[in-house]
């Protein structure tokens, strides 16, 4: 008798990340409402929805009540969407519907003028979608919430009658009595999206949240998003369990001594943390790995938040690691940025775009400790969790360096910001006071899915690279065999 509830038909937005949150897209033939403060990206969201749809064969009408059509076209172009070309091809119509404010009001009126214009264009291009941007600006002409409301119901019916998939945006009114002005719209629309633009630790971040979706499930979290050169990108990390790749076979660390300590090296697709105080050789260790990988014709993406590419190359030359052939051979890609140059979401977008285009086998992030300068510890945590999630999903080996301060006691958090759970291997580097001189020691704290030495081993950084004086060899350094408790000497 009772059939299963049938999934409602949806229209993909083709906006990266958004369709996952919406479990497929916006409701077909129905109304979606987006609200947010100034600068939250309402126009961009509507614009991208319309353009991507038009490019995929669903023409649409864009009605702008606030900005000029020319400004909208420029806006689109900055995201790589050629609105003018789509208009010329008859796939998009842009309607500039702005009152000039000089009109005299006398007696009752309604917005059927606009609807006639929209309908005319919609028929001409056989539109399936309509975006009405900054609807509140037109409605202001009523100067009366009750009349605004009636008009919106009329609009809603009109859109439904024509089976248009519509996207309406209104400005969130934050001040005084205006708070609930358009709240009733939430009940009217089938899908409601809130956009938010806030500043966290001096860095602006954007968040998107789906409030309701009639007849459909949806991701209920707040999702960070950025507006970049290719439009909007959402990061729906929390969207399901992460499909991590299992740890792969061994990959040499680039150092025979370290390979000996780790039963042959790192595991592919593992996340390896190298922690130590300043000067212990974290960057050198990471680059020894990078050079070896590039020599095997594998690709390494190096995200450096500590120094410029030139400074890193010069620094590595001084310890006998020449990265230039790897760079020339395009096996090593170095992406440098000041952590405070942009928000963590933009850093993430930049890294993800590099991963997409460069397709590295391994990724090195130098250093976690600098990421906190992206705004806050929670922003850094967010950035790292999302980055590691993507990297793991793609089976990319990931080396994170972390600069820790002070001498290390037991049980200290080596990652600094509490995400050791995603870390598969931890390597601890430290200085030791050896009487006349300072020595360095390395310890494998943990190595998931791998045997490893539990001894602290000495190493030297020379102009020929990193040396392990104990001439470590594979079988002799295995966990369970060595049992020194005091570590170094």
> What residues line the site for another protein (CB under 8 A)?
95, 97-100, 102-117, 119-121, 138, 141
Nearest approach, Cβ of 139 to another protein (angstroms)? 10
146 burial type by CB count under 10 A (0-12 exposed, 13-18 middle, 19+ buried): exposed
Cβ of residue 123: shortest distance to another protein, in angstroms? 9
Q: What is the DSSP string of 117-181?
A: HHHHHHHHHT-SEEEEETHHHHHGGG--HHHHHHHHHHHHHHHHHTT-EEEEEEE---SGGGGGT
Nearer to another protein, 99 or 338 (CB): 99
Contact 371, 384 (CB under 8 A): yes
Say if CB 465 and CB 320 are below 8 A apart: yes
Least distance to another protein, CB of residue 141, Å: 7
Are the CB atoms for 430 and 445 separated by under 8 Å?
Answer: no
Judged by CB, which is closer to another protein: 96, or 340? 96
Q: How far is the CB of 17 from another protein (least distance, A)?
A: 35
Give whichever of 64 and 346 is closer to another protein, judged by the CB atom.
Answer: 64
We find the least distance from the C-beta atom of residue 38 to another protein, in angstroms, to be 23
105 burial via Cβ count (<10 Å: 0-12, 13-18, 19+): exposed
Closer residue to another protein, CB minimum distance, 80 or 113: 113
Which among 76, 75, 161, 148 is positioned nearest to 118, based on CA atoms?
Answer: 161
Q: Report how far residue 153's alpha carbon sits from residue 158's, in angstroms, rounded to the nearest whole number.
A: 8
Q: How far is the CB of 200 from another protein (least distance, A)?
A: 40
Q: Which residues pair with 429 in a beta bridge?
A: 276, 442
Token pair for residue 488?
């170094």
Residue 156: alpha-carbon gap to chain centroid? 34
Min CB(95)–another protein separation in Å: 8
Q: Which C-beta is closer to another protein: that of 158 or that of 358?
A: 158
Q: Which is nearer to another protein, 105 or 240 (CB)?
A: 105
Q: Which is nearer to another protein, 63 or 398 (CB)?
A: 63
Question: Following DSSP, what letter does each residue of 279-299 receive, concatenated?
Answer: TSSHHHHHHHHHHHHHHTT--
């Amino acid at each position: 008798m009772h059939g299963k509830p049938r999934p409602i038909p949806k229209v993909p937005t083709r906006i990266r990340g958004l369709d996952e949150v919406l479990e497929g897209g916006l409701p077909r033939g129905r109304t979606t409402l987006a609200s947010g403060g100034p600068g939250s990206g309402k126009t961009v969201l509507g614009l991208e929805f319309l353009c991507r749809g038009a490019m995929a064969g669903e023409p649409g009408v864009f009605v702008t009540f606030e900005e000029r059509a020319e400004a909208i076209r420029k806006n689109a172009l900055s995201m790589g969407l050629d609105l003018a070309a789509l208009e010329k091809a008859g796939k998009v119509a842009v309607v500039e519907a702005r009152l000039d404010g000089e009109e005299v009001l006398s007696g009752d009126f309604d917005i059927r003028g606009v609807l006639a214009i929209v309908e005319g264009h919609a028929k001409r291009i056989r539109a399936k979608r309509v975006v009405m941007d900054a609807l509140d600006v037109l409605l202001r002409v009523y100067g009366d919430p009750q009349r605004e409301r009636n008009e919106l119901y009329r609009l809603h019916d009109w859109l439904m009658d024509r089976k248009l998939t519509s996207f309406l945006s209104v400005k969130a009114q934050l001040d005084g009595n205006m708070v609930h002005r358009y709240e009733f719209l939430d009940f009217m629309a089938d899908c409601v999206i809130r956009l938010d633009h806030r500043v966290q630790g001096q860095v602006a971040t954007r968040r998107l949240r789906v409030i309701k979706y009639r007849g459909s499930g949806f991701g209920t979290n707040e999702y960070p998003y950025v507006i970049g050169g290719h439009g909007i990108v959402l990061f729906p990390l929390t969207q399901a369990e992460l499909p991590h790749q299992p740890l792969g076979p061994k990959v040499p660390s680039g150092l025979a001594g370290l390979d000996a300590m780790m039963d042959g090296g790192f595991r592919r697709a593992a996340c390896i943390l190298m922690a130590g105080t300043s000067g212990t050789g974290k960057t050198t260790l990471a680059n020894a790995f990078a050079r070896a990988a590039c020599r095997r014709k594998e690709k390494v993406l190096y995200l450096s938040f500590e120094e410029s590419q030139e400074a890193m190359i010069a620094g590595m030359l001084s310890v006998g690691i020449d990265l230039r052939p790897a760079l020339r051979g395009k096996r090593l890609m170095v992406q440098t940025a000041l952590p405070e140059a942009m928000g963590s979401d933009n850093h993430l977008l930049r890294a993800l775009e590099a991963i997409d285009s460069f397709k590295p086998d391994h990724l090195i992030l130098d250093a976690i400790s600098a990421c906190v300068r992206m705004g806050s510890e929670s922003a850094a945590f967010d950035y790292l969790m999302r980055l590691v999630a993507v990297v793991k999903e793609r089976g990319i080996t990931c080396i994170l360096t972390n600069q820790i301060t002070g001498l290390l006691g037991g049980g200290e958090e080596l990652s600094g910001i509490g995400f050791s759970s995603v870390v598969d291997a931890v390597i601890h580097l430290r200085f030791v006071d050896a009487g006349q001189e300072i020595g360095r020691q390395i310890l494998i704290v943990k190595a998931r899915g791998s045997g490893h030495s539990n001894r602290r081993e000495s190493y030297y950084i020379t102009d020929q690279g990193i040396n392990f004086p104990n001439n470590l060899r594979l079988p002799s350094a295995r966990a369970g065999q060595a049992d020194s408790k005091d570590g170094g000497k």
